[in-house]
Structure 1
Amino acid sequence: MLRHFPQLNGSYHHKKRDYFIAAFTFLCVAICLLSDANAPIEKQNALGVCGWVFLLGLLLGEPFEVRVQVGIAVIFATIGEHFASPYMGGYTYRFGNVPAYVPPGHGMVYLTAVALARSGLFLRYAREIAAFVVLVCGAWSLWGISGIPDQGDAVGAMLFCVFLAYLFKGRSPMVYLAAFFITTWLELIGTAVGTWKWAAIDPVLGWSQGNPPSGVAAWYCLVDAVALGGAAPAMNGFKNLHEWVKSTKSRKNAYQGAGSE
Structure 2
Amino acid sequence: MNLSKTLFGQTIQSIGWLIFIIFLGLFLDSKFFAENYFEDGQWLNNTLVIFVYFYFFIKGTKRVREQLIYALIIGVIGEYLFSLVLGMYAYRLGNIPHYVPFGHAVIFIGIYFFSRKQKVKFYRKQIELFISICIIIYSILFLLFRNDIFGFILTLLVFYSLRKYPKERLFYLSMYFIVAVVEIVGTSLDCWVWPSIAYGKFEFLPSANPPSGICFFYYGLDRGTLSIYKRRNKVVWNRFKKVRTAIASVK
Normalised TM-score (structure 2): 0.79
Structural mapping, 1:165-204, within 5 Å: 165-170=160-165, 171-203=167-199
User: Which of residues 156, 162, 166 in structure 2 aligns to 1:161?
Assistant: 156
- Please state whether the residue corresponding to 1:185 is helix, strand or coil: helix
User: Which of residues 190, 209, 212 in structure 2 aligns to 1:211?
Assistant: 209
| Alpha-carbon distance, 1:186 to partner | 1.0
Say which is worse superposed, 15-24 or 227-236, in terms of deviation.
15-24
Partner of 1:45: 43
Partner of 1:31: 24
Consecutive unaligned residues of structure 2, counting only runs of 5 or more, are 235-251
Distance 2:11 2:64 in 1: 13
Partner of 1:119: 117
- Deviation per CA, 1:37-73, whole angstroms, max 9, x where unpaired? 1236743133213212211112333221222122111
Shift of the 126–18 alpha-carbon distance from structure 1 to 2, 3 Å rule, reads closer
| Alpha-carbon distance, 1:116 to partner | 0.9
| Alpha-carbon distance, 1:19 to partner | 4.6
Consecutive unaligned residues of structure 1, counting only runs of 5 or more, are 1-12, 237-261
Identity of aligned residues (%): 24
Q: Matched residue pairs, number?
A: 221
1:92–1:198 CA contact under 8 A, matched in 2? yes
- Deviation per CA, 1:103-122, whole angstroms, max 9, x where unpaired? 21111100111011111232
Partner of 1:104: 102
CA-atom RMSD in angstroms: 2.4
Structure 1 counterpart of 2:64, one-letter code: V
Structure 1 counterpart of 2:156, one-letter code: C
- Deviation per CA, 1:183-229, whole angstroms, max 9, x where unpaired? 11111111111111111101264411111111122222221111111
| Alpha-carbon distance, 1:21 to partner | 4.2
Structure 2 counterpart of 1:197, one-letter code: V
Query: Which structure would you say has the larger Rg?
Result: 1
Say which is worse superposed, 20-29 or 151-160, in terms of deviation.
20-29
- Please state whether the residue corresponding to 1:169 is helix, strand or coil: coil
Partner of 2:240: none
Shift of the 178–231 alpha-carbon distance from structure 1 to 2, 3 Å rule, reads same
Distance 1:108 1:17 in 2: 18
User: Which of residues 48, 51, 74 in structure 1 aligns to 2:72?
Assistant: 74
Partner of 1:245: none
| Alpha-carbon distance, 1:180 to partner | 2.0
- Deviation per CA, 1:125-166, whole angstroms, max 9, x where unpaired? 2222222222221122223333xx2x4111111111121134
| Alpha-carbon distance, 1:14 to partner | 6.8
Whose helix fraction is larger, Structure 1's or Structure 2's? 2
Normalised TM-score (structure 1): 0.76
